[in-house]
Structure 1
């Protein structure tokens, strides 16, 4: 049966646990390697690094490396280092993002910049980036180095593009997708693409896994942006309306302006320009009444379906099944 024809799971928690179970030993090895590679002669580096890495989250990007490599029959051990350095790259972006966004909470607890200040957070983020490139060299694949070094540039561009979008109600859907492709989907794509290269995939499988990661990352970001207007604050570890408070023109707002009345569009444009939450109740009503939330979910489901289609190029295995579960979980989750 094709990967995209698997039954739909009704229990996202079961899907989450099963996709980790497929690579449980590898995942444990990644966690051990993370702790080993965080070692530093400067105690604060280790303290902040451990704090942010231990703060929760699904560690999806390293998981994708493991699943991609194993789905193609990889039998070596370099996928452990590759998964670890991908997590370091991700963690460094979190440290930097929280400083840029002046965030005080992530995953339900204080951000590193809130606990230690901006300067230590930025510098430890730099350290983790540097450590990831050390590990990249040790893997010894010029092609993987090319994928990951290119990804870091695109991720940085995506973050800058998001910053320039803040307070701009004229951002359209095309620019929005370019932004989330850079700031979020690119590292998902790099994780699966580099895992495929490590496993010496044939060109068709390599391309399929690269696209799987891209579409999966887009689906996750779309649902994140959707949940900002209908999620559970306690479960998400952030406040509903945080994106609006920062003046971020995400797809629910972009679509609401496109589908709403001139007055509704005017209200949202003003809310984006001003930031803050003074008009949150009005905006929540508009994104709901215009169908913008349903539209955003439909686009997320479209990306998830495209990710599932790519798995048809892989041989049947429990690893491929876990990747299919993950594509479905991306749009079923509530936080």
Structure 2
């Protein structure tokens, strides 16, 4: 099948599944709304239904099918991962003081810090209850490990903000907590829900690790090279906040002493880094930091695809192709 045709099929399938996931989440909220505060309902609807790609719940649904289970409850279970993801975004935007999210005011900017924190807490509790309901203690254990790991990753990132000598290994440890754990957990919980054996559960868990790695690297590239009209964020936002991401780390590894010194000056506390973004982009490109980071993302996608080799049954060929296509999509996304 031509790549174009596969891409069109992938996008159509993802769109269809996203609509089902949205419908399931709306039904979840409808069951709860009679007893909920009106402001909470407004905050949740604003924060949850704002054009997200629903990748994490999609992974739950597809993983469960790959392991032999095809029923509507997978959409409800998948919704739990979107609830947790949204909760982290509500809180992250407060931490990072992000004014916008996906081209709209962030939740705390629109409704206030207290409302955003409380709505995030509500979604976290709803997510845990949903996972426990549909996947039992085994799934809840995976989910809770991911949650605690994500918080640990945020503390690591907080500590690393003041460190300008991060290694590539430091970076990977941080992004595993920031992005990889939740994506990997979505795959693993979906596989457990589907009744997968140890081999298949492990394969899907590792697929998620590789996919999460690629996703975050591309996210970091988009921060420098993305179109703000599509990403909903200003170019160089990470640099402006003093964050060391992979393109910069890889460039620093090859930079001359003079250029390295200049970059370190820009990363200093007494510099308005937002005025130096173009200069840093030029230096990263000079030392092939962007190209090298993209190659790392491509390697991660190849690793994700390799994990799917255990799924040889023709009955799940479409689901396997969907996950392979999703991994390739990560490399081409623009937001």
Please classify the TM superposition score into its range, dividing by the shorter chain length. Answer: over 0.9
Tell me how far apart the structure 2 counterparts of residues 18 and 328 of structure 1 sit (CA, whole Å). Answer: 15
Counterparts of 1:1-335 in structure 2, within 5 Å, are 8-9=3-4, 15-21=10-16, 23=17, 26-27=20-21, 29-36=23-30, 39=33, 40-139=35-134, 141-274=136-269, 276-314=273-311, 315-316=313-314, 317-335=317-335
Higher mean C-alpha displacement, 75-84 vs 167-176 = 75-84
Tell me how far apart the structure 2 counterparts of residues 277 and 205 of structure 1 sit (CA, whole Å). Answer: 46
Tell me how far apart the structure 2 counterparts of residues 34 and 94 of structure 1 sit (CA, whole Å). Answer: 20
Per-residue CA shift, 1:225-261, capped at 9, x if unaligned?
0111111111111111000111000011111111111
Tell me how far apart the structure 2 counterparts of residues 229 and 150 of structure 1 sit (CA, whole Å). Answer: 31
1:204/1:11 Cα in 2 relative to 1: closer, same or farther (>3 Å)?
closer
Tell me if the contact between 1:89 and 1:128 (Cα under 8 Å) persists in the aligned partners. yes
Higher relative contact order (CA 8 A, sep 6+): 1
1:177/1:24 Cα in 2 relative to 1: closer, same or farther (>3 Å)?
closer
Per-residue CA shift, 1:102-132, capped at 9, x if unaligned?
1101101100111111111111100110111
Larger proportion of helix = 2
Deviation at 1:263, TM superposition (A): 1.5
Unaligned runs of 5+ in 1: 1-5
1:295/1:140 Cα in 2 relative to 1: closer, same or farther (>3 Å)?
closer
Deviation at 1:42, TM superposition (A): 1.2
Tell me how far apart the structure 1 counterparts of residues 259 and 7 of structure 2 sit (CA, whole Å). Answer: 35
Per-residue CA shift, 1:83-119, capped at 9, x if unaligned?
0111111110000100100110110110011111111
* Secondary structure of 2:273's aligned partner: coil
Tell me how far apart the structure 1 counterparts of residues 85 and 21 of structure 2 sit (CA, whole Å). Answer: 16
Tell me how far apart the structure 2 counterparts of residues 98 and 309 of structure 1 sit (CA, whole Å). Answer: 35
Count of residue pairs the alignment pairs up: 329
Tell me how far apart the structure 2 counterparts of residues 242 and 38 of structure 1 sit (CA, whole Å). Answer: 37
Tell me how far apart the structure 1 counterparts of residues 45 and 265 of structure 2 sit (CA, whole Å). Answer: 41
Tell me how far apart the structure 1 counterparts of residues 176 and 70 of structure 2 sit (CA, whole Å). Answer: 31
Per-residue CA shift, 1:156-190, capped at 9, x if unaligned?
11111111111321111111100000011111000
Tell me if the contact between 1:8 and 1:328 (Cα under 8 Å) persists in the aligned partners. no
Tell me how far apart the structure 1 counterparts of residues 49 and 19 of structure 2 sit (CA, whole Å). Answer: 19
- The runs of at least 4 aligned residues of structure 1 exceeding 2 Å deviation read 6-21, 23-40, 75-78, 270-276
Tell me how far apart the structure 2 counterparts of residues 199 and 130 of structure 1 sit (CA, whole Å). Answer: 23
Per-residue CA shift, 1:192-250, capped at 9, x if unaligned?
00000011111111100001111111101000101111111111111110001110000
1:162/1:14 Cα in 2 relative to 1: closer, same or farther (>3 Å)?
farther
* Secondary structure of 2:224's aligned partner: coil
1:277/1:197 Cα in 2 relative to 1: closer, same or farther (>3 Å)?
same
